[in-house]
Amino acid sequence: MLKVKIHQAYRYVVAICDASLIGKKFENENMKLEIGTFFDGEDKSKEEVLEIIQHYALEDATFNIVGKQACEVALKAGIINEEGIKYVANVPVALVLL
């Protein structure tokens, strides 16, 4: 299961993460990652998240993606590639500005 939360600022910001990461903190020598309310949105299946990504990519949105499943869906949608994924304590993270 994935979590999706849509934020609206001057453009949409789509926060997507693996549901199991909510409330957790990760850190390596130069990065900290805290998965809190920014990501704690609605529960969605991989198929639903793929549709959301495809829709908001057309809306010129930005994406914050955290977790193995979330990155897999973003790769499938074509908004990221393997080189765009960074890791914080073995947790994959990708930021997308279309």
User: What are the extents of the domains in the chain?
Assistant: 2-97
Indicate the pTM of the whole model. 0.94
Q: Please report, in tens digits, the pLDDT of each residue of the chain (98 residues total).
A: 999 999 998 899 999 999 999 999 999 988 899 999 999 999 999 999 999 999 999 998 999 999 999 999 999 999 999 999 999 999 999 999 87
Residue 53 and residue 16: Cα distance in Å, rounded?
9
Return the DSSP state at 85. Answer: -
Where does 2-97 sit in CATH, by number?
3.30.1860.10
